[in-house]
Amino acid sequence: MTDEAASPLRRSPRGDVLIRHLWDTLATEARCSEGKNRMHAAHGLDAPAAPLITFDDFLAVDIRIGTVVAAEPFPEARKPAIKLVIDFGPLIGHKKTSAQITEHYTPDALLGRQVAAVVNFPPRQIGKFMSEVLTLGFADSAGAVVLFQPDRPVPNGSRLF
pLDDT(43) > 90: no
Confidence of residue 42 (pLDDT cuts 50, 70, 90): low
Grouping H, G, I as helix, E, B as strand and the rest as coil, residue 27 is: helix
Domain boundaries, the chain: 3-58, 62-147
Domain 62-147 sits in CATH at 2.40.50.140
What integer best gives the mean pLDDT of the chain?
A: 81
* Strand residues in 2-79 grouped as ranges (E): 63-73
Q: What pLDDT digit, counting tens, does each position of 55-109 carry?
A: 999 999 999 999 999 999 999 988 999 999 999 999 999 999 999 999 999 999 9
| 124 three-class SS | strand
